Structure 1
Amino acid sequence: MSLPTELASIFRVKQKSYKMVLVLSMIGIWRETQQRFISLDSIAERFLSYCRDREVNNLVVDIPPNSMASRWSEVSATQVKAILDTPVEALRSILAKNDRNELTFTYAIWDGGEEVLTELERYANRELESYYTELQSSSFSLKEHLSHILLTYRTAKQEPFANHPLGTAFRRTIPEGIRQYPFISDHIRVQGSVGQGNWATVPWIALMDTRLTGSTQYGEYLVYLFAEDMSSVYLTFNQGVTKPIRDRGRRAGYTYLENKVDQIRKQLPLVGFTKDDRIELTTSGLGRDYQVSTVAYVRYDSNNLPQNEQLVADLQRMMEDYQIYVQSQLQTAANEEEEDQIEDEESEEVETLSVTQRLSQIRSFIQNRGFSYPDGLIENFYLSIKTKPFVILAGISGTGKTKLVKLFAEAMGATVQNGQFALIPVRPDWSDPSDLLGYKDLSGTFRPGRLTEVLYEASKPENRSKPYFICLDEMNLARVEHYFSDLLSVLETQEWRDGEIATAPLISAASLSSEEDQQKYGDLSIPDNVYFMGTVNMDETTHPFSKKVLDRANTIEFNYINLLQLPDEVVGETITEAVAPNSFLRSDFLQLVDALDENRELISETTQSLAQLNEILEGIHAHVGFRVRDSVSFYMIYNRRDNLMSADEAFDLQLLQKILPRIQGSSSAVRRVLLELLKVCLDRPLAINELMEDLSPVYNEAEFLNAQSQIKYPQSARKIVFMLRRLEEDGFTSYWLS
């Protein structure tokens, strides 16, 4: 028979083997005695005997908690009773405890008779063997890797940073090894760093529950911290210090972190871990940051590292404490939401899905609506929004630009019906911001525009955790700079205020006449939960974009159409929208300095690539500035953080969306710049001087690019070839020509 539903999931979370061994001990004693109420002393003795037998026979078994002993032979039955408190609590759905310190199964299980108990016994044995197999199958040794780092890091710091094996160990090998442990849940993100571009003073390996935090800059997480002199490594329960200090200032930030430390120490058992501020990593300013942010730790000296089993056991015990804290935070948020009857901001900001899971959900939603977009487009659209809340979708009419915005918004729970999605058609006669923001009539009464109405709703406290999408349809039918310039300028004033992104006022209270208008719209700004999309059709009836606009947006092109691609057949249950918190789309960085500590290497590589392009673009005065540098860097950081595409694929899209839209003209200088850029895309020599005289080799885009195997930036290369052909045939070229 199959187990009842309430029993089939009791071992789903296998943080240790204790639950399975406890159940097997109780069933074994019942078979021998037929007593339904079993003393905790008897269960503890049976439990201890099981663990000792596996230990003696060199079979894999969880080692005792660090606070008790290193081997089960050194643990007493009295100590085991304390160990069993946690699994007994975890199995409260099937176990009961009376005043005589006896355990029994619930009536529902006894009513099922021996058949249910036999099936439960098989289930526990099966799950136990599966757990042990997972533990044994891992060839990863935490001790070997920690020891190697402690022995070699100081020497490595004297060697070139780029492509160093230690960097690979921190970023890939060790995180992948730790993720193999069965007590590491799917919510845990493991990330390591030896610095960005230069060797870090204190390298680290962090384990973050993505339901609390996605960055070491804020929130709570576990992290291995290596002392600067490599004399020791600490396993710590820690907090991110960057964001609290940035938002509150150093003094107030320290106070906040210290109060949080006291709160967590009182809340969690943290048995066997040190709880003080004597963590010693470096003599620099970082030392004080770690002292005030560390909740608990265990120190391992480089000349006396414990056995691998002990290191893993310590990590497992601290992970158990961490998960208790995570669950309490999630429960607190849920309780506050229920009590207040509103979507509490803190609760809504908890994203239960990873970025890849959320994007997969969005893609499935769109496909189930009968629409299909090229591979990678949804990821690119997400990264573009995350980088800057203004995206331009360009291309010929009927390619699904507006539909993409609407479906993406609906997949996140933003619809026309709930007011979180607004489609605003642009009129050719728009000449100033009043067409969007509103105007004062002859009586002096303020008449809000559609945009102002959306901003007002999005700014309400109960709505700040919901994303709002504004789609400006056919936005270049009028000159964008005339009606949209105020918004572009205000977007540039974004700054962090009390954990939120705020801008300067878009509508000043002083400009409004009535007290009612002043209270409602006065000092209205652009909140961080509003995202602007513009659709563009380029033809003789529309206006071109200035560099001021292009610098502030990612331009996604929709010109490559495959009419033979038919919508996928909808299979299975129709997927409905799943509300996503604003944190999924909101930028994590506003200035490059915010991202520098953890991403220095990637930022350096990106900046060097842009500098190479700038040398080429200077020939036609189309080179980019700091705003584009920061935007491209953020795009690359978000992409690498969630592993959405390769670095070359991401930079290819940024070259296509941030650089090429700036290029237009008819001169030979434009031709040379395009050829130089094509050379970068191909990543191989190109006969530029010959092509300056005769462009016929690149006339046939497909033949030319197919002849170039392993193109570094294929999408940009294809666009450049198209632009060169238009230059040759028409005497003028532009990114925007279709």
Structure 2
Amino acid sequence: MPLPESLTQIFKRKQKSYKMVLILSLIQELRASNQERVSFDRVKELFLRYFIAEQERGNRVDKPPGRELWMEATPSQLKDIVNSPVNALSHILFVNSEDNSIGFHNQIQQQLGEEELFQLEQMANKELQEYNAALQHFSLQGHLEKILAEYTFAKRETFAGHPLGTQFRQTLPSELKTLPFLDEQYKIQGSVGQGNWATIPWLAILDKRITETTQRGEYVVYLFAEDMSAVYLTLAQGVTIPVQEKGRKEAYVYLRNKTKEIRELVPLANMNKDEDIHLMSSGLGQDYQVSTVAYIKYERGNVPDDERLIEDLQNVMENYRLYVESLSSSDEETNEVRGEALLSEIEPLQDEQLAGVLQQIQFFIIQKGFFFPEHLIENFYLSLKTKPFVILAGISGTGKTRLVKLFAEALGSTVENGQFTLIPVRPDWSDPSDLLGYKDLTGRFKPGPLTEVLAEARKPENQHKSYFVCLDEMNLARVEHYFCDLLSVLETQDWHEGKIRTQGLISSTMLDMPNDQAKYGNLSIPENVFLIGTVNMDETTYPFSKKVLDRANTLEFNYINLEQYPDSNESLNLSETFDLSEMNHLLLRSDYLQLVDAYDANKELIIRTTERLVKINVLLEDIHAHVGFRVRDAICFYMIYNDRFNLMSEEEAFDWQLLQKILPRIQGSHASVRRVLLNLIKGALGNGSGISVNIQDLMEDTSPLYTRWNAGQTPPMAKHPQSARKLAFMLRRLEEDGFTSYWLS
């Protein structure tokens, strides 16, 4: 028979090796005496004998507190040591103080035949062997000394792909996880910086019950001094969010009060409880000093051996455990921290890693048997990053909806987990209630399909996840009618305590019931929700107004190569691969909302891009299609992201923006439209195309221009080939039909 469930998890949380040795000692004595209860003194004797024997064999084992050898442990110490696992296993073990006996509780004893006792013994032996193996092989001292010796020199070298980065982000967390007292409830992460070397690198251990981010909450962390003279093992508090929320002065008061509270709550034995921690002279170093609850200092060249280091870490982790378990589940602040903890601070991607992530996404899509034009995935990503509203346009059957679904699935957002939602738009939608909801005759709020997604996405436990909403056949109804509230709210995006917030979507007059108010009150568009509309342009659909076009990038799917076939032999060759399902919403969330957010760091690129747009605006003014600041900013953001992530050349990126933000605004039948199109195609072709564009000669007949290349082909050597191709088709429509528009193909 299998072991009772109450026994299968007893070693899930380890207290050193004590639980395993206690159970093995108890089983040994139960067998020897053939009794249900045995002498507690005899079990303690066997417990002690095990550790003495292992040390005599030269094996590394947990030491008794304050002593090197188990044979030096006093009876009083032994009693205290054994009582620790006895108390932890009190749900299965019973100690009778009257006759000093120990055994399993009656209900457990009744389920333990010889076979089950043997299984328990095997499980304890296996856990003990794995625990001791980890103690033998892990060299924390080697890692710490290596970092202290090499980090200063490493900072003079290229950041991307440096071995020390791998050591912090992958090697050390992986090896620490082998330590038996660091089970799956702990998140371990290290950092040497984001894009550039950090002044103070760190390695943190976070209890996921209270925090998964080093920005707030309490955690254990190794902090390295700026001059690499020492490393501090600390119990610390996150600084970033308290400073953002309260300002530095008030945050320091809060952190100092919290430090005092924790010092009174847990013993913090063998740790320094002062502020004599020196990381750097000011700034972040001061933040760390204020946020440190207690610490142990190791100086470079004098880092103790692994046995001492692991013993210290166990001690700090035990204090951390006591603190976490002392937190009341009803404590309002604790619940807030737990909610924020789930805004997971997964190791941020470096800018230079983004191209690899997009290659993985594209490979995922190809493996599903779908193909899209070159740079489309990069373009789709940059468009979402610029603004969380994108339109995919094109003829039916080109894979618009499929692109959204597969892109979302690649990042772990699926229909099954509720992070991908397809909302088919109906032709009879005439106002926002069809999408957002309405109040019925009973006074209850009936949420629309989008409202349900927004309410789920804003829950604290979901705020780090990406939610994709695909509005299918978006223009079957008039977008300006049913989507007007969202278009307006998207323009209210602003920074609030480090997050993007918008104004509310649901009027308070719609929420009469307390339950409705609790669930949907102050509902806005969370920063982790991304809206994508698919559209077909034919006689059954409505055109878009400039109000819609200004707020979205429009990606077109009209040029299809049918001669693409699945290739099962295609492989992904990357030096570094990523767990895409672990990416949080910051991968896609905008980093800039106003141009001032990005201006100082990208001044030259912004000025270059704006100068191009000024020239284009001069042309567009003739047909009242010129752009304003909203479009200028969006194009600049797109160009900045492309430059940061090194995805395409500057000309390629600007080509996509001409195609997606400028050309959709152009339509009409007048000669002035023809003139604008000719001037734009002249600029798109550039001087290196070998194609001459004489505006006056082509005002009556543009066919010599657009018949130079076949349908669907790119103009040879064009400066902006995507835009040149589209402009040629728009000119052809004007020539043949007397009217042209971006949406006709």
Normalising by the smaller structure, the TM-score range is 0.5 to 0.7
Task: Give the counterpart of 2:301 among 296, 300, 303.
Answer: 303
Task: Give the counterpart of 1:95 among 93, 96, 103.
Answer: 93
Q: 1:126 to 1:44 in 2, by over 3 A?
A: same
Q: Which residue of 2 aligns with 1:411?
A: 416
> Shift of residue 523 of structure 1?
10
**Aligned AA for 1:127?**
E
Where 1:411 maps in the other structure, the secondary structure is coil
CA contact (8 A) 1:501 1:527 kept: no
Matches within 5 A, 1:70-149: 70-100=68-98, 102-107=101-106, 108-109=108-109, 112-136=112-136, 138=138, 141-149=139-147
> Shift of residue 31 of structure 1?
3.6
Check if 1:257 corresponds to 2:255: yes
Check if 1:332 corresponds to 2:329: yes
Deviations 1:601-622 (Å, cap 9, x if unpaired)?
xx99x97998899599769689
CA contact (8 A) 2:168 2:192 kept: yes
Distance 2:305 2:452 in 1: 60
> Shift of residue 276 of structure 1?
3.2
Task: Give the counterpart of 2:199 among 189, 201, 221.
Answer: 201
Q: Which residue of 2 aligns with 1:6?
A: 6
**Aligned AA for 2:127?**
E
CA contact (8 A) 1:385 1:585 kept: no
Distance 1:22 1:456 in 2: 52
Deviations 1:635-673 (Å, cap 9, x if unpaired)?
999xxxxxxxx9969x9x999998863364966866986
Distance 1:559 1:185 in 2: 53
CA contact (8 A) 2:454 2:523 kept: no
Q: Which residue of 1 aligns with 2:531?
A: 533
Distance 1:94 1:593 in 2: 58
**Aligned AA for 2:251?**
G
> Shift of residue 22 of structure 1?
1.0
Where 1:295 maps in the other structure, the secondary structure is strand
TM-score, normalising length from structure 1? 0.65
Check if 1:175 corresponds to 2:168: no
Q: Which residue of 2 aligns with 1:503?
A: 502
> Shift of residue 62 of structure 1?
3.2
**Aligned AA for 2:235?**
F
Q: Which residue of 2 aligns with 1:597?
A: none
Distance 1:452 1:186 in 2: 39
- More off after superposition, 23-32 vs 449-458: 449-458
CA contact (8 A) 1:236 1:295 kept: yes
CA contact (8 A) 2:511 2:517 kept: no
Q: 1:460 to 1:91 in 2, by over 3 A?
A: closer
Distance 1:410 1:659 in 2: 34
Q: 1:464 to 1:131 in 2, by over 3 A?
A: closer
> Shift of residue 281 of structure 1?
1.3
Where 2:6 maps in the other structure, the secondary structure is coil
Deviations 1:105-163 (Å, cap 9, x if unpaired)?
2223266344433332233223322333344455xx32222212222333444455455
Distance 2:83 2:498 in 1: 39
- More off after superposition, 267-276 vs 17-26: 267-276
Where 2:271 maps in the other structure, the secondary structure is coil
CA contact (8 A) 1:547 1:662 kept: no
CA contact (8 A) 2:235 2:293 kept: yes
Distance 2:304 2:28 in 1: 35
Distance 1:480 1:192 in 2: 47
Please tell me whether Structure 1 or Structure 2 has the larger radius of gyration of its CA atoms. Answer: 2
> Shift of residue 242 of structure 1?
1.0
Q: 1:34 to 1:500 in 2, by over 3 A?
A: same
Distance 1:454 1:293 in 2: 41
Matches within 5 A, 1:354-369: none
Check if 1:661 corresponds to 2:660: yes
Task: Give the counterpart of 1:218 among 194, 216, 219.
Answer: 216
CA contact (8 A) 2:37 2:101 kept: yes
Distance 1:395 1:327 in 2: 57
CA contact (8 A) 1:387 1:635 kept: no
Q: Which residue of 1 aligns with 2:697?
A: none
Distance 1:272 1:174 in 2: 24
> Shift of residue 241 of structure 1?
1.0
**Aligned AA for 1:411?**
E
Check if 1:46 corresponds to 2:51: no
Q: 1:285 to 1:414 in 2, by over 3 A?
A: closer
Deviations 1:393-413 (Å, cap 9, x if unpaired)?
555446583995999686345
CA contact (8 A) 1:506 1:523 kept: no
Deviations 1:434-470 (Å, cap 9, x if unpaired)?
998899xxxxx9x999889976997899978788987
Q: Which residue of 1 aligns with 2:312?
A: 314
Distance 1:74 1:556 in 2: 78
Q: Which residue of 2 aligns with 1:151?
A: 149
Q: 1:170 to 1:612 in 2, by over 3 A?
A: farther
> Shift of residue 208 of structure 1?
3.1
Where 2:152 maps in the other structure, the secondary structure is helix
**Aligned AA for 1:105?**
F
Matches within 5 A, 1:418-457: 425=426
Where 1:200 maps in the other structure, the secondary structure is coil
Distance 1:57 1:302 in 2: 32
Deviations 1:147-197 (Å, cap 9, x if unpaired)?
122223334444554554433433344334334434433454433333334
Distance 1:538 1:259 in 2: 60
Where 1:196 maps in the other structure, the secondary structure is coil
Q: 1:328 to 1:627 in 2, by over 3 A?
A: farther
Check if 1:277 corresponds to 2:275: yes
**Aligned AA for 2:3?**
L
> Shift of residue 309 of structure 1?
2.8
Where 2:219 maps in the other structure, the secondary structure is strand
Unpaired stretches in structure 1, ≥5 consecutive residues? 338-343, 357-371, 440-444, 567-582, 595-599, 638-645, 676-687, 705-719
CA contact (8 A) 1:661 1:736 kept: no
Distance 2:258 2:529 in 1: 33
Identity %: 38
Distance 1:699 1:217 in 2: 56
TM-score, normalising length from structure 2? 0.65
Distance 1:320 1:655 in 2: 56
CA contact (8 A) 1:239 1:257 kept: yes
> Shift of residue 297 of structure 1?
1.8
Distance 1:535 1:75 in 2: 71
Distance 2:61 2:274 in 1: 32
Distance 1:544 1:648 in 2: 30
> Shift of residue 280 of structure 1?
1.9
Deviations 1:538-592 (Å, cap 9, x if unpaired)?
32444357598566679697998999999xxxxxxxxxxxxxxxx9769997755
Q: Which residue of 2 aligns with 1:474?
A: 473
**Aligned AA for 2:270?**
G
**Aligned AA for 2:240?**
T
> Shift of residue 214 of structure 1?
3.8
Check if 1:493 corresponds to 2:492: yes
**Aligned AA for 1:9?**
Q
> Shift of residue 313 of structure 1?
3.2
